[in-house]
Amino acid sequence: MFTGLVETLGTVTALEPMGPGVRLSVRSAVAAEGTQVGDSVAINGCCLTVIEVRGELLSFEAGSETLSRTNLGKLTVGSSVNLERSLKVGDRLGGHYVTGHIDALGTLSARREEGDWSFLWFQVPRELTRQMASKGSIAVDGVSLTLVEVEQERFSVALIPHTLTVTTLGKLAVDDVVNIETDVLAKYVARQVELLRGAGDSPA
Protein backbone atom coordinates (compact mmCIF):
# COMPACT_ATOMS: atom_id res chain seq x y z
CA MET A 1 0.00 0.00 0.00
CA PHE A 2 1.22 3.50 -0.88
CA THR A 3 0.11 7.12 -0.40
CA GLY A 4 0.82 8.66 -3.80
CA LEU A 5 3.37 11.02 -2.24
CA VAL A 6 6.48 10.50 -4.33
CA GLU A 7 9.58 10.27 -2.16
CA THR A 8 12.15 10.87 -4.84
CA LEU A 9 13.04 10.59 -8.51
CA GLY A 10 15.13 7.65 -9.66
CA THR A 11 17.10 7.04 -12.86
CA VAL A 12 16.83 3.83 -14.89
CA THR A 13 20.35 2.40 -15.25
CA ALA A 14 19.67 -0.94 -16.94
CA LEU A 15 16.94 -2.92 -18.72
CA GLU A 16 18.04 -6.52 -19.16
CA PRO A 17 15.87 -9.12 -20.94
CA MET A 18 14.79 -11.86 -18.53
CA GLY A 19 12.46 -14.54 -19.86
CA PRO A 20 9.27 -12.84 -21.09
CA GLY A 21 10.07 -9.72 -19.06
CA VAL A 22 12.99 -7.57 -18.01
CA ARG A 23 15.25 -6.95 -15.05
CA LEU A 24 14.90 -3.26 -14.26
CA SER A 25 17.58 -1.41 -12.31
CA VAL A 26 17.03 2.05 -10.83
CA ARG A 27 19.49 4.33 -9.05
CA SER A 28 18.23 6.28 -6.03
CA ALA A 29 20.06 6.90 -2.77
CA VAL A 30 16.83 7.90 -1.04
CA ALA A 31 14.77 4.87 -2.09
CA ALA A 32 17.64 2.44 -1.45
CA GLU A 33 18.13 3.58 2.14
CA GLY A 34 16.80 0.89 4.47
CA THR A 35 15.25 -1.05 1.58
CA GLN A 36 15.68 -4.82 1.58
CA VAL A 37 15.12 -7.65 -0.89
CA GLY A 38 11.42 -8.50 -0.91
CA ASP A 39 10.25 -4.96 -0.15
CA SER A 40 7.69 -3.25 -2.38
CA VAL A 41 8.44 -0.03 -4.25
CA ALA A 42 6.10 1.88 -6.54
CA ILE A 43 7.77 2.86 -9.81
CA ASN A 44 5.58 5.40 -11.62
CA GLY A 45 2.79 4.07 -9.42
CA CYS A 46 3.34 0.39 -10.33
CA CYS A 47 4.16 -1.85 -7.38
CA LEU A 48 7.25 -4.02 -7.95
CA THR A 49 9.26 -6.26 -5.61
CA VAL A 50 12.91 -5.51 -4.91
CA ILE A 51 15.08 -8.48 -5.96
CA GLU A 52 18.50 -6.94 -5.27
CA VAL A 53 19.99 -3.94 -3.46
CA ARG A 54 23.53 -2.83 -4.30
CA GLY A 55 24.42 0.51 -2.78
CA GLU A 56 22.16 3.07 -4.46
CA LEU A 57 20.93 0.54 -7.06
CA LEU A 58 17.61 -1.24 -6.74
CA SER A 59 16.70 -4.09 -9.10
CA PHE A 60 13.25 -5.43 -9.98
CA GLU A 61 11.65 -7.95 -12.31
CA ALA A 62 8.82 -6.76 -14.54
CA GLY A 63 6.85 -9.38 -16.48
CA SER A 64 5.33 -9.05 -19.94
CA GLU A 65 1.89 -8.27 -18.49
CA THR A 66 3.31 -5.37 -16.48
CA LEU A 67 5.30 -4.06 -19.43
CA SER A 68 2.28 -4.13 -21.77
CA ARG A 69 -0.25 -2.64 -19.34
CA THR A 70 1.89 0.14 -17.82
CA ASN A 71 4.31 2.72 -19.13
CA LEU A 72 7.22 0.75 -17.66
CA GLY A 73 7.41 -0.92 -21.04
CA LYS A 74 8.34 2.46 -22.55
CA LEU A 75 11.26 3.14 -20.20
CA THR A 76 14.79 3.43 -21.53
CA VAL A 77 18.15 3.73 -19.82
CA GLY A 78 18.33 7.26 -18.44
CA SER A 79 14.56 7.63 -17.93
CA SER A 80 13.44 9.35 -14.74
CA VAL A 81 10.83 7.56 -12.63
CA ASN A 82 8.75 8.42 -9.58
CA LEU A 83 9.62 6.26 -6.57
CA GLU A 84 7.74 5.59 -3.34
CA ARG A 85 8.49 2.90 -0.79
CA SER A 86 5.51 1.07 0.69
CA LEU A 87 3.58 2.60 3.56
CA LYS A 88 4.43 1.51 7.10
CA VAL A 89 1.93 1.27 9.94
CA GLY A 90 2.03 4.60 11.76
CA ASP A 91 3.29 6.62 8.78
CA ARG A 92 1.54 9.86 7.94
CA LEU A 93 -1.00 9.52 5.15
CA GLY A 94 -0.80 12.82 3.29
CA GLY A 95 -2.12 11.60 -0.07
CA HIS A 96 -4.66 8.80 -0.42
CA TYR A 97 -4.56 5.00 -0.35
CA VAL A 98 -2.82 3.79 -3.52
CA THR A 99 -2.47 0.05 -4.17
CA GLY A 100 0.17 0.16 -6.89
CA HIS A 101 -2.10 -1.81 -9.24
CA ILE A 102 -2.46 0.17 -12.46
CA ASP A 103 -5.99 0.29 -13.91
CA ALA A 104 -5.13 1.59 -17.39
CA LEU A 105 -2.91 3.87 -19.38
CA GLY A 106 -3.87 7.50 -19.92
CA THR A 107 -2.59 10.03 -22.45
CA LEU A 108 -1.84 13.68 -21.84
CA SER A 109 -4.17 15.42 -24.29
CA ALA A 110 -3.71 19.08 -23.30
CA ARG A 111 -1.49 21.19 -21.09
CA ARG A 112 -1.96 24.82 -20.08
CA GLU A 113 0.55 26.88 -18.13
CA GLU A 114 -0.58 29.64 -15.77
CA GLY A 115 2.47 31.19 -14.17
CA ASP A 116 4.23 28.48 -12.18
CA TRP A 117 1.17 26.23 -12.25
CA SER A 118 0.18 23.70 -14.90
CA PHE A 119 -3.31 22.44 -15.81
CA LEU A 120 -3.31 19.01 -17.46
CA TRP A 121 -6.04 17.03 -19.24
CA PHE A 122 -5.69 13.25 -19.55
CA GLN A 123 -7.62 11.00 -21.94
CA VAL A 124 -8.64 7.69 -20.33
CA PRO A 125 -11.07 4.81 -20.96
CA ARG A 126 -14.67 5.71 -20.13
CA GLU A 127 -14.97 2.96 -17.52
CA LEU A 128 -12.38 4.76 -15.42
CA THR A 129 -14.14 8.13 -15.35
CA ARG A 130 -17.15 6.35 -13.81
CA GLN A 131 -14.93 5.93 -10.76
CA MET A 132 -13.96 9.61 -10.63
CA ALA A 133 -15.56 12.73 -9.18
CA SER A 134 -14.49 16.36 -9.01
CA LYS A 135 -12.45 16.96 -5.84
CA GLY A 136 -11.85 13.21 -5.55
CA SER A 137 -8.45 11.52 -5.75
CA ILE A 138 -6.51 10.01 -8.64
CA ALA A 139 -2.98 8.62 -8.98
CA VAL A 140 -1.11 9.63 -12.15
CA ASP A 141 2.26 7.88 -12.52
CA GLY A 142 2.02 7.21 -8.80
CA VAL A 143 1.38 10.85 -7.85
CA SER A 144 -1.68 11.49 -5.68
CA LEU A 145 -3.67 14.34 -7.24
CA THR A 146 -7.03 16.01 -6.77
CA LEU A 147 -9.43 15.83 -9.71
CA VAL A 148 -10.58 19.20 -11.01
CA GLU A 149 -12.99 18.33 -13.81
CA VAL A 150 -14.24 14.94 -14.97
CA GLU A 151 -15.82 14.30 -18.37
CA GLN A 152 -16.84 11.08 -20.12
CA GLU A 153 -13.38 10.13 -21.36
CA ARG A 154 -11.01 12.62 -19.78
CA PHE A 155 -10.18 14.45 -16.56
CA SER A 156 -8.11 17.43 -15.50
CA VAL A 157 -5.73 18.18 -12.63
CA ALA A 158 -3.92 21.31 -11.45
CA LEU A 159 -0.26 20.88 -10.56
CA ILE A 160 1.46 23.16 -8.08
CA PRO A 161 5.12 24.20 -8.63
CA HIS A 162 6.38 21.72 -6.00
CA THR A 163 4.77 18.73 -7.75
CA LEU A 164 6.11 19.88 -11.11
CA THR A 165 9.61 20.03 -9.66
CA VAL A 166 9.84 16.81 -7.62
CA THR A 167 7.98 14.38 -9.93
CA THR A 168 8.12 13.38 -13.59
CA LEU A 169 4.83 15.19 -14.25
CA GLY A 170 6.67 18.47 -14.71
CA LYS A 171 8.24 17.21 -17.94
CA LEU A 172 5.16 15.59 -19.46
CA ALA A 173 4.35 16.59 -23.04
CA VAL A 174 1.14 16.15 -25.03
CA ASP A 175 0.72 12.51 -26.16
CA ASP A 176 2.92 11.16 -23.35
CA VAL A 177 1.49 8.02 -21.72
CA VAL A 178 0.94 7.75 -17.95
CA ASN A 179 -0.16 5.09 -15.48
CA ILE A 180 -3.61 5.66 -13.99
CA GLU A 181 -5.00 4.23 -10.75
CA THR A 182 -8.41 5.33 -9.54
CA ASP A 183 -9.29 5.62 -5.85
CA VAL A 184 -9.75 2.15 -4.34
CA LEU A 185 -12.83 3.34 -2.41
CA ALA A 186 -14.42 4.52 -5.67
CA LYS A 187 -13.91 1.02 -7.10
CA TYR A 188 -15.91 -0.55 -4.30
CA VAL A 189 -18.69 2.02 -4.60
CA ALA A 190 -18.88 1.50 -8.38
CA ARG A 191 -19.03 -2.28 -7.87
CA GLN A 192 -21.83 -2.02 -5.33
CA VAL A 193 -23.84 0.24 -7.64
CA GLU A 194 -23.32 -2.25 -10.46
CA LEU A 195 -24.54 -5.12 -8.27
CA LEU A 196 -27.58 -3.15 -7.10
CA ARG A 197 -28.53 -2.31 -10.67
CA GLY A 198 -28.15 -5.94 -11.62
CA ALA A 199 -30.40 -7.01 -8.76
CA GLY A 200 -33.01 -4.52 -9.90
CA ASP A 201 -33.01 -6.00 -13.40
CA SER A 202 -33.44 -9.58 -12.15
CA PRO A 203 -36.86 -11.22 -12.39
CA ALA A 204 -38.81 -11.35 -9.14
Element (H, E) at 13: strand 8-18
Strands 21-27, 104-114: parallel, antiparallel or unpaired by DSSP? unpaired
With respect to residue 56, please indicate whether it lies within any of the assigned structural domains: yes
With respect to residue 59, please indicate whether it lies within any of the assigned structural domains: yes
Residue 147 structural domain: 104-193
Residue 64: CATH number of its domain: 2.40.30.20
Q: Are 79 and 124 within one domain? A: no
Tell me, what amino acid is at 134?
S
Q: Are 74 and 154 within one domain? A: no
With respect to residue 138, please indicate whether it lies within any of the assigned structural domains: yes
Alpha carbons 201 and 175: distance in angstroms, whole number:
41
Q: Are 189 and 108 within one domain? A: yes
pTM for the model stands at 0.91
Q: Domain boundary at 85, 114, 148, which? A: 85
With respect to residue 165, please indicate whether it lies within any of the assigned structural domains: yes
- Please give the chain's pLDDT, 204 residues, in tens: 899 999 999 999 999 999 999 999 999 999 999 999 999 999 999 999 999 999 999 999 999 999 999 999 999 999 999 999 998 777 777 778 899 999 999 999 999 999 999 999 999 999 999 999 999 999 999 999 999 999 999 999 999 999 999 999 999 999 999 999 999 877 877 777 777 887 766 554
With respect to residue 168, please indicate whether it lies within any of the assigned structural domains: yes
Predicted local confidence at residue 87, as pLDDT: 85
User: Looking at the 3D structure of the chain, how many domains does it have?
Assistant: 2
